[in-house]
Structure 1
């Protein structure tokens, strides 16, 4: 199909329909409810839109379908590949149903997150993907009043008050602590994100404390270092812990960049991992299997979270009665950064 000489701004839906050899209503459905259009007609309309350089009016589409075809996602941070895996899968899936992604980050600031949510609502997003469960209940009340579907990810809700797609952070952290205790460790420290306004960091810390308590051990407050997430913070916390007279033999990192920083700093300090101290991570990001020593860590279902969250929201937007999945599984990936204590 060859492009004609019609000025792009003047091209109408009718022009696209004639070029594609379909009815105008088919073009409208393609733009607003693509799941109602056959694959053959989709290909025809898509080719015509491309040939004519047709750009549909977002305002007109919203008016016609009563939807913006936009789904908002508000991340704690964009300065990491952690959420990138999940959000890429999420975006790919919603796009096949005709939705676009609007992305923002709040840098672990609850007021900033609230501001982003209000802005997205005012711009007419059809649904929202959020991270974690630590926010004011009034936000959920507003979303429910506006009938905007939402899903919380990377977490579970034991009270089942909100739809969640995630895993049990408490149990995941308990599992890595139990693995280290099985190796014989009794002297523990933890490098954690700030637990205030972060239910994932809080649950991971409590999971470690619970696992140790089950075996008659404890995690002293002095051995819990809370930092802003990042490699440099991991270096700083590791240096602090390993400069003390009473050194831990195992350091559990609540976020993987902390573990990378700890390993980098160990080389500067001349400390042998794992013979002097064992290090664990959390999430199994790409560097975990490429750093030296390779990192023992908790593998979280990042891509599965993105896919299931997208399926849940699309189903809700289609008016389907859909259940959220059960808590997803994690896996302890054993590599070379851990060994029995000397």
Structure 2
């Protein structure tokens, strides 16, 4: 780089915003809007500015932008695990919406530890997030207090409760599993078991089990203590739980197994093949989530599908509406799960 050019850049050798504006043949204000308020710039101009910035290897100074505008254009999301594809779909939906509006999305993982979730939230607040999405309501009160005291808009995802004090973007877990259990009851099943992920620090699992129990209680039925298996959300735990359930005497075995998610149900179906058992001939089983493999596995899995990406899109749009000032606070929105009736659940034997 020649000395004259370096002097024109204040002796730092760094490209300035003015140079990007000249190369793109726009004003410096337009360059700023293209990065800070992209919805106020035409697609053609926005593309021209970004091409000029790339050609000059210029990157907006986030700290400077935040100081000048008192805006960081950063949003946050805290999910319980990175091992479940359903949360990846939510983040994908949020990322798409936020990116189109010039926001960067920070991601934190609590590993189902409320205190870790609080630490993640504190770290994000310290970095100036303008909005936050958290999964479920099982968080320390300090987390919601910190958001409220700072006026930071937030939403709770994967949960919907009309009585919740928080804006919820998700589905009614209790109602979904009540409906799933009702489907099995309509097929004549009366001996039930359940394979679920842990309910510790997980309000969604507690609500799902509540939905199962309420549906059974309406028919004067219940799940015996030995028939409720709770453990890791893995294929291995699903398989081991199924083997334990089927080790009982034939007249004590459950004819219907409700699983907390598809992963557990698929593990159980794998174990069934090893035991010489087959659904729905010998038992019925259901999952939840409708993973991509669930409709391709044999037998295909009866489950419930939730549009997890739509949860992310709705969450991001609600948060952006508050940031933009078009509404005072995020509004709750309910997603309705779709029951996918497939091969793994059929009429009870001898019905």
TM-score range, shorter chain: over 0.9
> Is 1:220 the counterpart of 2:224 in the alignment?
yes
The corresponding residue for 1:174 is 178
Post-superposition CA distance 1:270-312 (Å, at most 9, x none): 1111111111000111011011111000111212211111111
The corresponding residue for 2:310 is 304
CA distance in 1, matches of 2:13, 2:170: 45
Alignment of 1:11-90 (within 5 A): 11-90=15-94
Post-superposition CA distance 1:212-262 (Å, at most 9, x none): 111221122222111121111111211111112221001000111101110
For the aligned residue pairs, the C-alpha RMSD in angstroms reads 1.7
> Is 1:315 the counterpart of 2:321 in the alignment?
yes
For residue 268 of structure 1, the aligned residue among 263, 271, 274 is 274
Alignment of 1:1-342 (within 5 A): 10-245=14-249, 246-321=252-327, 324-342=331-349
- Given that residues 321 and 330 in structure 2 are in contact (C-alpha distance below 8 angstroms), is that contact kept between their aligned partners in structure 1? no
CA distance in 2, matches of 1:57, 1:230: 44
- Given that residues 161 and 172 in structure 2 are in contact (C-alpha distance below 8 angstroms), is that contact kept between their aligned partners in structure 1? no
CA distance in 2, matches of 1:83, 1:226: 21
1:140 deviates by: 0.5
CA distance in 1, matches of 2:27, 2:238: 60
Corresponding residue SS for 1:237? helix
- Given that residues 159 and 169 in structure 2 are in contact (C-alpha distance below 8 angstroms), is that contact kept between their aligned partners in structure 1? yes
Post-superposition CA distance 1:49-84 (Å, at most 9, x none): 122121111211211222222211111111121211
Question: TM-score, structure 1 length as denominator?
Answer: 0.94
Corresponding residue SS for 1:10? coil
CA distance in 1, matches of 2:318, 2:212: 31
Q: Which runs of 4+ in 1 moved over 6 A?
A: 5-8
Post-superposition CA distance 1:64-109 (Å, at most 9, x none): 2222222111111111212112211211111000011111212211
Question: TM-score, structure 2 length as denominator?
Answer: 0.92
- 1:9–1:304: structure 2 CA closer, same or farther, 3 Å change rule? farther
CA distance in 2, matches of 1:243, 1:104: 41
CA distance in 2, matches of 1:91, 1:15: 30
1:325 deviates by: 4.5
- 1:310–1:9: structure 2 CA closer, same or farther, 3 Å change rule? farther
- Given that residues 133 and 157 in structure 1 are in contact (C-alpha distance below 8 angstroms), is that contact kept between their aligned partners in structure 2? no
- Given that residues 278 and 339 in structure 1 are in contact (C-alpha distance below 8 angstroms), is that contact kept between their aligned partners in structure 2? yes
- Given that residues 193 and 229 in structure 1 are in contact (C-alpha distance below 8 angstroms), is that contact kept between their aligned partners in structure 2? yes
Q: Which runs of 5+ in 2 are unaligned?
A: none
1:185 deviates by: 0.3
- Given that residues 153 and 330 in structure 2 are in contact (C-alpha distance below 8 angstroms), is that contact kept between their aligned partners in structure 1? no
Corresponding residue SS for 1:61? helix
Structure 1 range deviating more: 144-153 or 176-185: 144-153
**Which structure is larger by alpha-carbon Rg, 1 or 2?**
2
- Given that residues 77 and 108 in structure 2 are in contact (C-alpha distance below 8 angstroms), is that contact kept between their aligned partners in structure 1? yes
Counting matched residue pairs gives: 338
CA distance in 2, matches of 1:208, 1:65: 51
